[in-house]
């Protein structure tokens, strides 16, 4: 860069600094000004290990059932206030190498926090986006029991959300 380019660069830098000091720019204002504060109690943890009644079947790359599968853990995170609470569930499986997917029959009631307000299973629903497809005979009326087939490649942990009040919410329930 020549002397003329150097002087031009310094002049631009000084002009930019001057604009910043003088306040040529103005703050951006949003089209709305409502402030909202939201708070919700959150709890998370493993309230209990998988029940002996919880079962699974692992399937290999070819779709054939594999020799062993067990439900290793069911963990849950709960948030919200009674009437509008939601839960994240994570079901972890132990299965042999080569597992592509897992079908399962698991009770979520084992995971209820004994210190929290009771969960109203009769109004609950599994949100769309669950990492499984439900058995044709399963409905949300079967909650807290879930009988489903995990999406391919979601092994070893399957995630899904449950809402305590499915009214007006997109769920897997008919």
- Alpha carbon 82 to its chain centroid, in Å, reads 19
Q: What is the bridge-based pairing of β-strands 86-94 and 70-79?
A: antiparallel
Highest mean pLDDT among 23-32, 82-91, 109-118, 131-140: 82-91
In three-state secondary structure terms, 35 is: coil
In sequence order, what are the beta bridge partners of 148?
Answer: 104, 134
CA distance 59 to 150: 10
**CA nearest neighbour of 93 among 84, 83, 85, 103:** 103
The pLDDT, as a whole number, for residue 72 is 94
pLDDT of residue 83 exceeding 60, the answer is yes
pLDDT of residue 23 exceeding 70, the answer is no
Mean pLDDT of the region 49-68: 87
DSSP 42-70: EEEE--SPPPTT-EEEEEETTSPBPS--E
Per DSSP, 22 falls in state: H
- HSE-CB at 34 with a 13 A cutoff on CA atoms is 3
User: pLDDT tens digit string along 99-152?
Assistant: 999 999 999 987 777 777 889 999 999 999 999 998 888 999 999 999 999 999
Over the chain, what is the mean pLDDT? 78
pLDDT of residue 71 exceeding 70, the answer is yes
pLDDT band at 77 (very low <50, low <70, confident <90, very high): very high
């Amino acid at each position: 860069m020549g002397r003329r380019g150097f002087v031009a660069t310094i002049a631009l830098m000084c002009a930019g600094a001057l604009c910043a000091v003088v306040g040529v720019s103005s703050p951006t204002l949003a089209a709305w000004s409502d402030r909202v504060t939201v708070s919700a109690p959150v709890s998370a943890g493993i309230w209990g290990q998988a029940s002996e009644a919880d079962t699974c079947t692992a399937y290999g790359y070819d779709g054939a059932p594999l020799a062993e599968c067990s439900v290793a853990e069911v963990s849950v995170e709960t948030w919200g206030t009674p009437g509008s609470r939601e839960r994240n569930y994570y079901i972890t499986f132990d299965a042999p190498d080569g597992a592509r997917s897992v079908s399962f029959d698991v009770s979520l009631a084992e995971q209820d926090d004994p210190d929290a307000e009771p969960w109203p299973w009769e109004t609950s629903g599994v949100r769309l986006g669950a990492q499984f497809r439900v058995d044709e005979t399963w409905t949300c009326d079967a909650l807290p029991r879930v009988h489903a087939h995990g999406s391919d490649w979601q092994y070893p942990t399957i995630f899904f959300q449950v809402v305590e009040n499915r009214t007006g919410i997109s769920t897997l329930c008919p």
